[in-house]
Amino acid sequence: MKQNLRYLLCLIVGIGFWLPSANAQLVNYEDTWQEFLKNPKTSAISKLTEPSKEQVANYLKYSLMYANSYFCADDLTQSEKMMREVASISADAQAKIPGFVIKYEELQTRIAAYKVCGKAWVRFIDGESIDIAELEKSEMQEAKKVCEKGTLCKYFYMTSMYYYCKGDLKQSRGQFENRVQKLVDKTSFEPKDVNGMDERVTMMKKLWAGIDKLNPAWAKLIESDKSPGFDTELPLIDCYAIPNMKEYILRASADLCAVGDEMLKKIKALQKTNTHPIPSDLADKIEWLEKAVAENNTGLATLNKAWTKFLPESKPSGVDYGHEFVCDRAAEVKAYIMDGFADPCGGGKMALDKIEAIKKEHNPSLDAETMAKLKQLKARVNKEEENLAKLNEAWEDFVPDDKIKGKINFVFEYCDKEAQVKAYVMDGTINFCAKGKSRLADITKLRGSDRPELADEVIKKIEALQAKQDESDQDLADLNTAWKLYTSTDKTMAWKEGFPQKDTTGIEDNIRLVKFYCDKIAQTKSWVIKGQLNPCEKGEAYLAKINKLKKQASLTYDKELACQVSRLKSKVYQCKYWALVLKAWKVTYEECERFGPASSKIMYADLNSDELPCETTVEFKHLGKIGIQYTITTFLCQRINLAKMGDPEYYKKIATWVDTEVLSKYCESNMRCKEDFYIYLEGHTDGNRFSGAKYDKSLGIPEGTPFTHFVGNNSGSVDTTKEATRNITTDLKSNMELGIARAWTVKQQLDFMKVPIKVGAYEHPSGEKGGEFRRIEIELNITNLMLDFYEKTLKELIKESGIGNRPKLGC
């Protein structure tokens, strides 16, 4: 009661200030509220002024209407704010306003539905399918009653998509066009304001527009079995791809060659994920497309395989190919070209007619190879007489000597099979190495299949070709035998001094080789054998042929042949090398001939002077290939005390002469020329009987000193023995000991030269007496004097010749 009195008092006080405006506002709130109760979606509240909270009823109405208005405008934040204002006022106050509680609870329910639908939409655009059971839940059902257009769109779009995925296109389309599309097209709703909505609405519009085109096109295909084509690309919705499969069938049927394979691959991909039964009419068309694509691909592959085998020689490939290729009319032309060549006489004309029909109807583009073969077929069919004339002219030229003028200008396929045999005979004979054996096989095959009647002249030429081939085969067999024999005997693996010798083992008599072999490796082997049998006379010429043939024919040798070519190369080198050795020896010999006598004269002049009562001679001769022997003979023209014989200066002259006039001329710093340098001293006694000799000073010849003992006979023969002395001191007992004593005395004078010295005694027979037989011969044997000269000469000759370094022998 008190509360009502206070309310009344306030109302009276307020009336004095606000009576005009308050009356108007109360009327406005009431009208708007009544309109809101009838249809909250259409109530206009934009002119309402916010009342104070003391005006409880109006504030509640204001808050609820604005909460609803914000909600319908998809401003949930402001809507919930106003709902909190309502909730802050007591339920009793809310209940006093007619219809308020009902509208308040409705709005609460729809806000909850808004949120439930929004969460489902988020899952939906992330790819999750929304089942009908979820869409029919009570909280979700309220979503289709809300005034907020985004929620309505979400709900009905998800519903439409559910039915589409189930294959219920009628329901799906109804939900979209009667609900979603109307909201988009006939209200202020903007799909782009809802995440993912704009592109989905666009996609669905395109889908239904496409299906409107798809259905009549499909019906026409099923009715007429001919596709009208389909240029609209349907959006692909994975959960129901039947329309897309139909689209791909329509496209493939309209242009199987261009897109058939591609469309089939797309259909196969969809079939892997499809969960719906495929309608029988669609299944039939898929089966047709599979078969058509397979036949086209397999048939073309087979045809191309046959064509590849056919191209080189225009001969049947043995491959069974088809003749109809709707996707490649050029392949049909190829098929009939091969038919024409397979039987030019019986089917050539018909094949050309077929090709002309294909060209007229389809005008296929033919590549250069096909055009060339077509031209050849036309020539083959239309120019048989001309070809025969050319062949017969060539045959007349060929018969006398198995040769023709110029190159082969005739073909090898004829309806007249005897003419074809002639062509094979000429080709096999003229190009024997390349074609002989294969043309004999062609002739045998042709005679077996066509049994042509052949003139005696043709048969003789066949027999001649066969005989030539048999001979060639035998030549090759004999070569292989010779090769095995030779390689089993020639096992030289080290250098031998001197020229490689011509074969003396008799191999040449046991093998048969010919001048020419078709096989290039066989030819090489024959030249290797011939070269090695006589390497110095013939090896280089055969080696040149081998190298030239290898380069021209790009040959690759196996290990054994490479080994034998290497052996021949080594032997040829050795021949050249030893020719240079002989030349170096000759140059060395000539140098010795020049130098030896000249140096001997110098020594002769130095050793003979007025002070010496007896003459000394100096003689020169060759010692082996690179040595010189000087023989200095001192004649004993008067009695000499052997113990004091000779002037030391006399022997020093000899040593000096050896060093300055001989060794220094030809020895290098390593003094190899002194190796094997030795002196041989031979004391001679004449034929007088030995009368004894005794000396005051001991000769000092040790017992056992080795010497060579020569005893001359009046018949001219000489007995030679190897002996050893007794201990000779002051007395001598024979001419032999006298000769040894003379040689030994000179040895003592020459020991300072520090080279090996050997001694000998020569007893002349009784018929040789006098001063000329009493002498001492000093042999200076400089065995390696010209070694360095010879080696330098050989090195220069090798360099000038260009033969290079000595190769390895063997493999």
Q: What is the pLDDT of residue 18?
A: 32
In the numeric block, the tokens 């559910």 are attached to 162
For the chain, helix, strand, coil in percent to 5 are 65, 10, 30
- Measured CA to CA, the distance from residue 264 to residue 402 in angstroms comes to 63
Region class of 731: left (phi > 0), else alpha (psi between -120 and 50), else beta:
beta
Number of compact structural domains in the chain: 5
DSSP bridge partners of 677 = 782
- Cα 289 to its chain centre, rounded Å, is 42
Over residues 614-628, the pLDDT tens digits come to: 888 999 999 988 999
Secondary structure in 3-state letters for 534-577:
CHHHHHHHHHHHHHHHHHHHCCCCCHHHHHHHHHHHHHHHHHHH
Reported as a pLDDT band with limits 50, 70 and 90, residue 449 is very high
**3-class state of residue 483 by DSSP:** helix
Q: Are residues 374 and 390 in the same domain?
A: no
Q: Are residues 376 and 391 in the same domain?
A: no
- Measured CA to CA, the distance from residue 603 to residue 189 in angstroms comes to 139
DSSP letter at 772 equals: G
Q: Is the pLDDT of residue 788 over 70?
A: yes
Average pLDDT over residues 267-284: 92
Please identify, among 351, 382, 413, the residue that sits at the C-terminal boundary of a domain.
382
Q: 165 in a domain, yes or no?
A: no
Residue 522 tokens, joined: 């066989």
Average pLDDT over residues 534-563: 92
- Cα 109 to its chain centre, rounded Å, is 78
Average pLDDT over residues 740-767: 88
Average pLDDT over residues 499-521: 82
Q: Are strands 757-763 and 706-712 parallel, antiparallel or unpaired?
A: parallel
Q: 446 in a domain, yes or no?
A: yes
Reported as a pLDDT band with limits 50, 70 and 90, residue 34 is confident
Name the helix (H) or strand (E) containing 405. Answer: none
Q: What is the pLDDT of residue 662?
A: 86
Residue 180 and residue 168 in contact, taking contact as beta carbons nearer than 8 Å: no
Residue 379 and residue 340 in contact, taking contact as beta carbons nearer than 8 Å: no
Name the helix (H) or strand (E) containing 809. Answer: none
Q: What is the pLDDT of residue 638?
A: 65
Mean pLDDT of the chain: 85
Q: What is the pLDDT of residue 19?
A: 35
- Measured CA to CA, the distance from residue 787 to residue 775 in angstroms comes to 32
Reported as a pLDDT band with limits 50, 70 and 90, residue 7 is very low
Q: Are strands 706-712 and 731-732 parallel, antiparallel or unpaired?
A: unpaired
Q: Are residues 609 and 656 in the same domain?
A: yes
- Measured CA to CA, the distance from residue 184 to residue 419 in angstroms comes to 87
Over residues 224-275, the pLDDT tens digits come to: 989 898 999 999 999 999 999 999 999 988 888 778 888 989 999 999 999 9
In the numeric block, the tokens 């001991």 are attached to 698
> Does 603 or 671 have the greater pLDDT score?
603
Reported as a pLDDT band with limits 50, 70 and 90, residue 24 is very low
Q: Is the pLDDT of residue 548 over 60?
A: yes
> Does 392 or 493 have the greater pLDDT score?
392
> Does 437 or 636 have the greater pLDDT score?
437
Residue 113 and residue 146 in contact, taking contact as beta carbons nearer than 8 Å: yes
| Region of poorest pLDDT, from 42-46, 609-613, 762-766 | 42-46
Q: Is the pLDDT of residue 14 over 50?
A: no
Residue 722 and residue 759 in contact, taking contact as beta carbons nearer than 8 Å: no
Cα angle vertex 204, ends 199, 208, to 5°?
A: 155
> Does 809 or 582 have the greater pLDDT score?
582
Average pLDDT over residues 761-776: 90
CA–CA distances in Å: residue 191 to residues 151, 195, 534: 11, 8, 104
Residue 425 and residue 443 in contact, taking contact as beta carbons nearer than 8 Å: yes
Q: Are residues 351 and 363 in the same domain?
A: yes
Q: What is the pLDDT of residue 9?
A: 34
Name the helix (H) or strand (E) containing 63. Answer: helix 56-72
DSSP bridge partners of 685 = 763
Taking each continuous run of H as one helix and of E as one strand, the counts in the chain are: 28, 9
Residue 725 and residue 625 in contact, taking contact as beta carbons nearer than 8 Å: no
Residues 42-73: b if buried by 16+ CB within 10 A, e if exposed: ebebeebeebeeebbbbbbbbbbbbbbbbbbe
Q: Is the pLDDT of residue 328 over 70?
A: yes
Highest average pLDDT, of 324-338, 453-467, 766-780, comes from 453-467
Q: 217 in a domain, yes or no?
A: no
Q: Are residues 741 and 670 in the same domain?
A: yes
Q: 135 in a domain, yes or no?
A: no
% of residues, the chain, pLDDT over 70:
92
Q: Is the pLDDT of residue 491 over 80?
A: no
Q: Is the pLDDT of residue 3 over 60?
A: no
Residues in the chain: 811
Region class of 33: left (phi > 0), else alpha (psi between -120 and 50), else beta:
alpha
Q: Are residues 422 and 550 in the same domain?
A: no
Q: Are residues 50 and 22 in the same domain?
A: yes
Neighbours of 176 (CB within 10 A): 25
Q: What is the pLDDT of residue 644?
A: 44
Over residues 285-294, the pLDDT tens digits come to: 999 988 888 8
CA atoms within 13 Å, Cβ hemisphere of 479: 24
Q: Are residues 741 and 602 in the same domain?
A: yes
In CATH, what number is assigned to the domain containing residue 739?
Answer: 3.30.1330.60
Q: 63 in a domain, yes or no?
A: yes
Contacts 24+ apart (CB under 8 A), 263-267: 263/289, 264/289, 264/290, 264/293
Exposed (0-12), middle (13-18) or buried (19+): which is 107, by Cβ within 10 Å?
buried
Secondary structure in 3-state letters for 113-157:
HHHHHHHHHHHHHCCCCCCHHHHCCHHHHHHHHCCCHHHHHHHHH
Residue 215 and residue 282 in contact, taking contact as beta carbons nearer than 8 Å: no
- Cα 583 to its chain centre, rounded Å, is 51
Average pLDDT over residues 770-792: 90
In 3D space, the residue among 99, 117, 114, 112 whose CA is nearest the CA of residue 40 turns out to be: 99
Q: Are residues 425 and 339 in the same domain?
A: no
- Measured CA to CA, the distance from residue 558 to residue 564 in angstroms comes to 10
Q: Is the pLDDT of residue 508 over 80?
A: no
Q: Are residues 402 and 378 in the same domain?
A: no
Reported as a pLDDT band with limits 50, 70 and 90, residue 810 is low
Which residues, 6 or more positions from 259, have their beta carbon under 8 angstroms from its beta carbon? 251, 252
Over residues 583-600, the pLDDT tens digits come to: 999 999 999 999 899 989
DSSP letter at 728 equals: B
- Cα 384 to its chain centre, rounded Å, is 47
Residue 739 and residue 762 in contact, taking contact as beta carbons nearer than 8 Å: yes
Q: What is the pLDDT of residue 11?
A: 34
In 3D space, the residue among 520, 567, 512, 578 whose CA is nearest the CA of residue 545 turns out to be: 520
Over residues 669-684, the pLDDT tens digits come to: 777 888 888 999 998 9
Q: What is the pLDDT of residue 429?
A: 95
Residue 546 and residue 585 in contact, taking contact as beta carbons nearer than 8 Å: no
Q: Are strands 677-685 and 757-763 parallel, antiparallel or unpaired?
A: parallel
For 22, the domain range is: 2-98
Reported as a pLDDT band with limits 50, 70 and 90, residue 47 is low
CA atoms within 13 Å, Cβ hemisphere of 250: 26
Which residues, 6 or more positions from 253, have their beta carbon under 8 angstroms from its beta carbon? 221, 226, 227, 285, 289
Over residues 345-358, the pLDDT tens digits come to: 778 889 889 989 99
Average pLDDT over residues 768-786: 89
Please identify, among 525, 545, 575, the residue that sits at the C-terminal boundary of a domain.
575
Q: Are residues 311 and 445 in the same domain?
A: no
Q: 251 in a domain, yes or no?
A: no
Name the helix (H) or strand (E) containing 410. Answer: none
Q: Is the pLDDT of residue 2 over 50?
A: no
Q: Are residues 654 and 764 in the same domain?
A: yes
**3-class state of residue 500 by DSSP:** coil
Q: 322 in a domain, yes or no?
A: yes
Q: 192 in a domain, yes or no?
A: no
Reported as a pLDDT band with limits 50, 70 and 90, residue 716 is confident
Exposed (0-12), middle (13-18) or buried (19+): which is 456, by Cβ within 10 Å?
exposed
DSSP bridge partners of 779 = 631, 680
Residue 214 and residue 230 in contact, taking contact as beta carbons nearer than 8 Å: yes
Q: What is the pLDDT of residue 6?
A: 37
Over residues 400-445, the pLDDT tens digits come to: 999 999 999 999 988 889 999 999 999 999 999 999 999 999 999 9
Q: What is the pLDDT of residue 45?
A: 60
